[in-house]
Each structure stands twice: as structure tokens, then as C-alpha cells.
Structure 1
Amino acid sequence: MHESLPISVFIIARDEADRIARAIDSVSDFADEVIVVDSGSRDDTIAVAESRGATVFRNDWAGYGPQKRFAEDACRNDWLFNLDADEAATPELVAEIRKLFAAGPPGTASFWQVRIKDVFAHESGPAPWAYGYNQIRLYDRRVGRFSESPVHDTVRPPAGARLGQLSAPMAHRSIRSIAFHVEKMNRYSTMQADDMASRGRRLARHRLLTEFPLAFLKAYLVRRYALYGWWGLVISTNFAYTRFLRLAKTYERELAARARSDSGAA
């Protein structure tokens, strides 16, 4: 067992009993503490998290940004590492973080980005071509914190802040099954439509025609899902449908608002 680093790891969760142990175990080698904020799990998420040594807080769901800010406030250290319940720090990433903090908290940057790579249910780890995206996951909360947006859970560094890049990846197992993915698509697209409405964004009608094929090509070619063979066809189609649903729900709201307006004017 290695000596812990002055880093608090925090995870927001709900109904993640089957995945949260992997997440907690992946950081237990370096974390000074692991904080889990549960928003009303109906399974054994809390029991599993506590059995792995995490401290669990309960907080009603108010959106991604507010929930992560609550978790930030629950941490005792200023250096934080954010981990989702469906993610796991790879051994290479843990080793890199240990090296970064070998002489104490790094002074080169207050925000460190991590490459988060897809891992599907039938895989043991990220494929060499796995799609990944960069997010700030290791940071000093005295300098910047998560956005308060209920939809966009992103750390907001101040203007001119220095960003570092960790080279080792994080494993992201976001899709338990196709059935789970369909439910997630429906939930996320509704939140995205709500966000667009709250910001007064209007839909360009032509996007109802172009969104699906363009999103499919983005997933299949740009994200290199084609390299997964037939599975790549499945996940590309699901990705495109998620993008289309967001617009379809936005258009549905516009039609309903117009009908209310016409009814009131009659």
C-alpha cells in the first residue's frame, strides 16, 4: 500500500452498485479520501461504496454542475480528482499522478486534463483506436471549480490559467447494454432540449434532415467506430439518434408553444 497523496477524489452516483467498486478501487492507491455523493440510489450503491472505504453523502439531484459543486465542498483537500462511477483510473494514470505529486502539489499548472477513452461491456480495456476526449479532472479548487450548469459538468478555469495534460488514459464504461443506452439517450436528450430552451436557442429546421446522417458519419469515421466492425455500426447509429432526439424534442416544444400561442390569440 502506497502513501496517499493530498488529493480528494469525488464521485457523484445513483444506482451504480454494479460499477462504483471498480471506480473507487482504481484510485484507492493514491487518494487521501474518496467522497461519494449519492442522489437517491435504490440499489446497494451506498453499501458498496462504504465497503470500499468511501465516505458517502446524500444530496437530492439538482443537475450535474450543482451536484459536483456539492461534492467539491465535501472534500477536505484543495486538490481534487473527479471520477464518474462508470470510469476507472488506469494503472498508468495512477502512476503518472504519483510522479506528478512526487515533490508535492505541482506548481506548473493548477488544472490537468485527462484523456477519457471508451470501453464497452465486452472489452477489458480501451482499444488502441478507442475514441477519447479531454477533460479537466485533476485540479486545485482554490483556482477554479465546476460550472453551475445543470447539464454541462465542466471545470471552469479562469482566463489565462495554465492547463497541464496527463498522457495516460481513463477508462470509461458508459454503456452497460443497448437497453441501458436507449434509456440514457432519452434522458440526456430531454435535458439537452431543456437547456436549449432555457438559453432561448431556436432550431434551424434543416438540421432535422441533416443531423442524423452527419452525426452518424462523425461517429463512424471521425471517432473511428468503424474499426469495431458490426458493433461500430450499432454504436454509431445510437450516437446519431441521440443527436437527432435532442433536436426533435426541441422542435416538439416549439410546436407546442406555437399551438398555445395560437389558442390564446383565438
Structure 2
Amino acid sequence: MTPDPALRTAVSCTIITKNEADRIERCLESVRGLVSEIIVVDSGSTDETLAICRAFGATCFHRDWEGYGQQKRFAESKASHDWILNLDADEWLTQATRAELSRLLTAPIPQAIHGFEFKITQVYPGDERPRPFADYHNYIRLYDRTRCRFPDSAVFDEIKLPGAHKGRIKAPIFHQSIRSIAHLVEKNIAYYKLQTGEIKKKSPLTLVRIGFEPLSVFFKYYFMKMHVTGGVYGFIVAITIAMLRTYRLAILYFPKERTR
């Protein structure tokens, strides 16, 4: 990778993958010229993911899947530079985000800042931009690995920093987390099974929550997270997530379901 020579801070981009051939190229292209290297940690792709990454100039490693945090920490350890930009294969930098990062990296980063938070905004399958008032999460994605790292957790893969050590990138990262409703179901069931491996204790209220979960989660996603602006597709997404969250409680309450 050849970054813009005007950049003062060298950055390694880390990405974890498995069968991402249909969307990894958009992610790779979005960091072109901003990073000095791309580190890809793959957990067993059987499609063209690795061929695409290598053709782009990425350095690829294989690591059997243990969990999100473990994969990302391994990627950190393979990076040549301490400042790391972590992206998922289904994410990409917008042009506004690229411009903001370029301005940031052409000047020295203040010593007090250990990482930068981004607004990760959801994009529906087949769309190029988020729907109006799309839901989002704020995550640290550009950080100094000598000062903070991803946790050693299968599911809790979020870097935490106090406000005094955290910067902010105003422009968003776009995130197309699902390919279809079927993929939404498959992805969440796999995640919940990982999650229940770390959350061993069930609450006495779990069974009570199962009764209320569908309606409360639907209301949260359809109205509060604004899937109402997504039309019929948004309605289907919200009701599917409500059923999936109920399923999560069920496998907490009935542990034998976790291994099925």
C-alpha cells in the first residue's frame, strides 16, 4: 500500500474476514491512500475473499475462529504501526470521512488522544446510503494500540476510552451489516450462541422477559431506531429482530438449546 506522502501518521488497517468476496472490495477501496498497510485475518474463506485482498496488496493471515475480540487482537499483533484503523468487511469510509481522516493524519495527533470515535451508520442491503434517520452506534475505530486494545472477548469487541483520551470523527462510516433477512437471522443466531457462552448465569426474570420481549424490542427498533423510515423492509427488519431477541432469552433460559 502507498499512502499519501503528506500524511504524518502511519496507519495500519485491520479487517477480519470469512467469505466476504461480495463486499470486501468496497471496504478496501475506501482506505486507499490513507493507510500504509492492510492486515486481513481470515478464518477459513472458501470464496474469493483472499484472492481479492491479496490482489489489492493486503497481507493475509489465517486464524481459526474463536470470537470477534480474539480475531481483532490477533490482527493488532500483526500490524506494523501502532495507530490502527479497524474496519469490518461490511463497512466502508465515505468520501467525507476520507477527507476528514486525511486532514487529521497530515498533522500530529495530540498526545492526550488515544483513539477516535466514529458514527457507524446502518445501510440496508442493496442501498448505497442510509435511509433517513438511520440507526447508528458510536465506536472507537482509529486508535493507538499501545494505549488501548480490543478486549479478549468472543462477543464484546468494543474499545472503551474515557472522554479525555477520545477524539471524534464527525463524518460516518457506512455499515451494511446484512445481505438479506435470511442473513440477519443466521448472523444473529450465531452471535447469540457465542454470547451465551460468556453469559453463563440466567436471571429469574428471564422467563418473564420472554413474554414482553417481542413487543418492547419491536417498538424500540421500529420507532426509536427509526426503521419506520425504511418502509415495508424496515417493518420486516424490526419484527425479525424482535423475534431474534426473544430467541436469545430462550437459549439463556434453556441452556441445551445453545448447542443445537
> TM-score with structure 1 length normalisation?
0.90
Partner of 1:250: 252
CA distance in 2, matches of 1:14, 1:254: 27
Partner of 1:103: 107
Name the aligned partner's letter for residue 85 of structure 1: A
CA distance in 2, matches of 1:166, 1:202: 38
Question: SS of 2:22's equivalent?
Answer: coil
Question: SS of 2:237's equivalent?
Answer: helix
Kindly report which structure 2 residues correspond to 1:44-123, keeping only aligned pairs within 5 A, or say none. Answer: 44-123=48-127
Partner of 1:261: none
Name the aligned partner's letter for residue 202 of structure 1: S
CA distance in 2, matches of 1:210, 1:245: 12
CA 1:255–1:137: 2 relative to 1, 3 Å? closer
Maintained 8 Å contact 2:120/2:136: yes
CA distance in 1, matches of 2:224, 2:211: 20
Partner of 1:186: 189
Name the aligned partner's letter for residue 74 of structure 1: K
Unaligned ranges ≥5, structure 1: 257-266
Question: SS of 2:199's equivalent?
Answer: helix
Name the aligned partner's letter for residue 96 of structure 1: E
The answer to whether the aligner puts 1:124 opposite 2:166 as a matched pair is no
State the 4+ residue runs in structure 1 displaced beyond 6 angstroms. none
CA distance in 2, matches of 1:242, 1:191: 14
The answer to whether the aligner puts 1:23 opposite 2:19 as a matched pair is no
CA distance in 2, matches of 1:162, 1:148: 21
Question: How large is the RMSD of aligned CA atoms in angstroms?
Answer: 1.8
CA distance in 1, matches of 2:98, 2:240: 32
Maintained 8 Å contact 2:132/2:229: no
Name the aligned partner's letter for residue 121 of structure 1: P
Name the aligned partner's letter for residue 187 of structure 1: A
Question: SS of 1:206's equivalent?
Answer: helix
CA distance in 2, matches of 1:114, 1:25: 19
Shift of 1:255: 9.3
**1:44-90 deviation per Cα after TM superposition (whole angstroms, max 9, x unaligned):** 11111111111111111111111100000000000001000000011
Shift of 1:108: 4.8
Name the aligned partner's letter for residue 154 of structure 2: P
CA 1:128–1:38: 2 relative to 1, 3 Å? same
Shift of 1:2: 3.1
Maintained 8 Å contact 1:110/1:162: yes
Paired-residue identity, %: 39
Maintained 8 Å contact 2:67/2:153: yes
The answer to whether the aligner puts 1:172 opposite 2:202 as a matched pair is no
Question: SS of 1:241's equivalent?
Answer: helix
CA 1:20–1:210: 2 relative to 1, 3 Å? same
CA 1:183–1:14: 2 relative to 1, 3 Å? same
| Structure having the higher Rg | 1
**1:203-247 deviation per Cα after TM superposition (whole angstroms, max 9, x unaligned):** 512101111111110000110100111111111012112211110
